[in-house]
Amino acid sequence: MSEHTLVTIGVVGGTGKEGAGLAARWARSGYRVVLGSRDAARAQQKAEELNAALGSAVISGADNPSAVQQADIVVISVPYEAHAATLTGLKEALQGKIVVDITVPLEPPNIRSVNLPAGLSACLEAQTILGADVRVVAAFQNVSYTHLQDSEHPVECDVLVCGDDATAKDEVIKLAEAAGMKGYDAGSLVNSIAVESLTPVIMYMNRKYKVKGVGIKVTGIEQAK
């Protein structure tokens, strides 16, 4: 039995590209995962699809509030335009939990240019909406969903993890590793401004170089060990 089996991850917006890709990887590595959706039936259908590919039934589907209720760690994976309203609606249910916010505050159609939202980053806005009893951690914004689909292979990208609670960051670094990546502590939640801002840079480079999976790799740490 994996050490992860006692931890349940809820993925709000888990029917989407990034959330479902991460969910499949976490399930493969032994976490229980509940996909959340505005429509419970859509989440259940996506869970069945992922379970069929995994050959086990560790992923379930529910409406977003039920997914949050069942989870120890909650991942927010919705488009930025739905971010504030989604968090506000789930605020009570999220109290006391670790919230991994992967949202990038893109402003269509200029998705290849940095957009600083009013609160400077989606993660800082999440912390303001949810209050001090929720430990918001920023991660995974720089990992394209295209890398996550082939869940049997590691991803050639690193994950910068920012947050104000060291224990919560450690849990999220474990999630990066469980999903086949290396996670690094990248400082306090205010650093999410820089991490979120890297994603439009990556999207620009994808188009410039006619590829889908530009990512980032940290150098200088592993080499020094």
Ligand X SMILES: NC(=O)c1ccc[n+]([C@@H]2O[C@H](COP(=O)([O-])OP(=O)(O)OC[C@H]3O[C@@H](n4cnc5c(N)ncnc54)[C@H](OP(=O)(O)O)[C@@H]3O)[C@@H](O)[C@H]2O)c1
**Which positions touch ligand X (CB under 6 A)?**
13, 15-19, 37-39, 42, 77-80, 82, 86, 102-104, 106, 140-141, 143-145
Give Cβ neighbours of residue 10 (< 8 Å, ≥ 6 apart).
33, 34, 36, 67, 68, 69, 70, 71, 73, 74, 75
| Closer residue to ligand X (CB): 6 or 161 | 161
User: Residue 118 in 3-state DSSP?
Assistant: coil
CB of 212 to ligand X, least distance (A): 9
> How far is the C-alpha of 73 from the C-alpha of 153, rounded, in Å?
24
Smallest distance, Å, CB 164 to ligand X? Answer: 21
Looking at beta carbons only, is 8 or 86 nearer to ligand X?
Answer: 86
Closer of 53 and 80 to ligand X (Cβ): 80
Whichever of 6 and 64 has its CB closer to ligand X, that residue is 64
CB of 188 to ligand X, least distance (A): 20
- Rounded least distance, CB 76 to ligand X, Å: 8
- Pick the closer one to ligand X by CB: 82 or 93: 82
Q: For ligand X, which residue has the nearest CB? A: 16
Least Cβ distance, residue 213 to ligand X (angstroms) = 9
3-state secondary structure 17-54: HHHHHHHHHHHHCCCEEEEEECCHHHHHHHHHHHHHHH
C-alpha 184/C-alpha 187 separation (Å) is 9
Amino acid at 110: N
